[in-house]
Structure 1
Amino acid sequence: MTRHEERCYRYLQERIQEIAINAGYNGNGSLRIHSKVRVVDVVLPDATRYAEGTPSFIGLFRQISQWHFDFVICDDETQKIVIALELDDQSHQLPDRVRRDQILDSVCRDAHMPFTRLIMTRTAMTYKPVYPEHPETQMPVR
């Protein structure tokens, strides 16, 4: 992990229950944060939108098979995914990265995967939910 990712990980550790509840988690089990989880290990292209085996499905699958979520929070007992999180830094403003982010957002929406983008500054963490859509929120960072 980069220093920025480590800082974000520690922040998520401190607020894991709160983040999970805000993502719709209603369990009372233990939660765990996994880092660098391959996207295709969690979601696949929507087979109703991209017929499986077609060039468009295969192309999208190949793209997302190279990508990782920065963090995935799971219920430790059931291993059910509570939310996937992407830490957006300045590189996410580059044209090729903007397009990649749009594709990832679309794949998560199609799969109904709870997914949020995070922007961390020295003083605050901004949550930009992709799916399900909620208002953007900001929380102070210690």
Structure 2
Amino acid sequence: MNFMVFVTCLTIAFVAGFTVARKLTLRKVASSVIITKSQPVPSSATSPAVKASTRSYTPQKTYRDSRWQERDELFQGMVAEGILLEGKEWLITRCEKIYFDNLEKWFGHYCHIHCQVSLGRLINFPEQPEFSEEERKRFFAIYNGMAMDYVLVSKKNNKIVCVIELDDPSHERADRIIRDRWLNTIMTIARVPFVRASVTKLDEIPPVWDTRDKMRPLAAATKGEPLH
């Protein structure tokens, strides 16, 4: 008799516990649905500010280990994910434009003046058995991305006359100091006529011809005349 009472009580307790647990589960699901509905995700149609600002755009990122991807695979993958690119409106800054106009006034009769030229376009890097292909690629990558502010090219013979860097306060940063040290070394090794100008002296004529003649004296002597 006592055993039957025990079994009956156990069954009642199990059924009651199951019923309570089911009610709590349904209540939790219902509350999560309410919360989700009360917080709609903004879209370009409902939020003009989001549509007007490209900075809020987030590409549909998928995981991949880019260290082991070929360049084309990396390129196509990022394009497929919706990478955001924005074209620049200006090539040079206002200060650089002022100095450009001065260079045109001082040297425009003899030289074409180009802006933001990759250093890789100004330096030849011949093959050398002392250095591996990997070393050469990495060294080339160091200077190829450097953009020279101004490159003066002779209108007469299309030769490079001088390269000019306009130093502003950004050159005082630690990373720029290292970059400038690399650049000075490369220009010396390659014997490229190179002048540094300062934003505090925009009206000062740079020693373009003297620098060219000191760096490449034989070239000037063989022609018997300035290489304008």
Whether the TM-score (by the shorter chain) exceeds 0.5 is yes
Identical-residue share of aligned pairs (%): 24
Match of 1:77 in 2: 156
Q: Is 1:15–2:68 an aligned residue pair?
A: no
Which segments of 5 or more consecutive residues in structure 2 lack a partner in the other structure?
A: 1-91, 216-228
Match of 1:34 in 2: 114
Query: TM-score, normalising length from structure 2?
Result: 0.46
Asked if 1 retains the 8 angstrom alpha-carbon contact of 2:99 and 2:202, the reply is no
Matches within 5 A, 1:94-109: 94-109=173-188
State the Cα deviation string for residues 26-76 of structure 1 (Å, max 9, x = none). Answer: xxx83110111110000145866x736252x32221021111110000112
Matched residue of 1:121: which SS?
Answer: helix
Q: In structure 1, what residue type is equivalent to 2:131?
A: A
Greater relative contact order, per chain length (Cα 8 Å cut-off, separation 6+): 1
Give distance in 2, aligned partners of 1:14 and 1:124: 11
Matched residue of 1:15: which SS?
Answer: helix
Asked if 1 retains the 8 angstrom alpha-carbon contact of 2:98 and 2:202, the reply is no
Give distance in 1, aligned partners of 2:134 and 2:156: 36
Query: TM-score, normalising length from structure 1?
Result: 0.71
Which segments of 5 or more consecutive residues in structure 1 lack a partner in the other structure?
A: 18-28, 134-142
Give the total of aligned pairs: 120
> What RMSD in Å do the two structures reach over aligned CA positions?
2.9
Matched residue of 1:9: which SS?
Answer: helix
Q: Which has the larger radius of gyration?
A: 2
Give distance in 2, aligned partners of 1:72 and 1:123: 16
Matched residue of 2:165: which SS?
Answer: strand
Q: In structure 2, what residue type is equivalent to 1:69?
A: M
Whichever structure has more strand as a proportion of its residues is 1
Match of 1:67 in 2: 146
Residues 92 and 128 (structure 1), Cα distance of their counterparts in 2 relative to 1, 3 Å cut: farther
Match of 1:53 in 2: 133
Give distance in 1, aligned partners of 2:204 and 2:175: 24
Matched residue of 1:125: which SS?
Answer: coil
Give distance in 1, aligned partners of 2:202 and 2:159: 31
Matched residue of 1:69: which SS?
Answer: strand
**Which stretches of structure 1, 4 residues or longer, exceed 3 Å deviation after superposition?**
44-48, 122-133
Deviation at 1:99, TM superposition (A): 0.3
Q: In structure 2, what residue type is equivalent to 1:10?
A: D
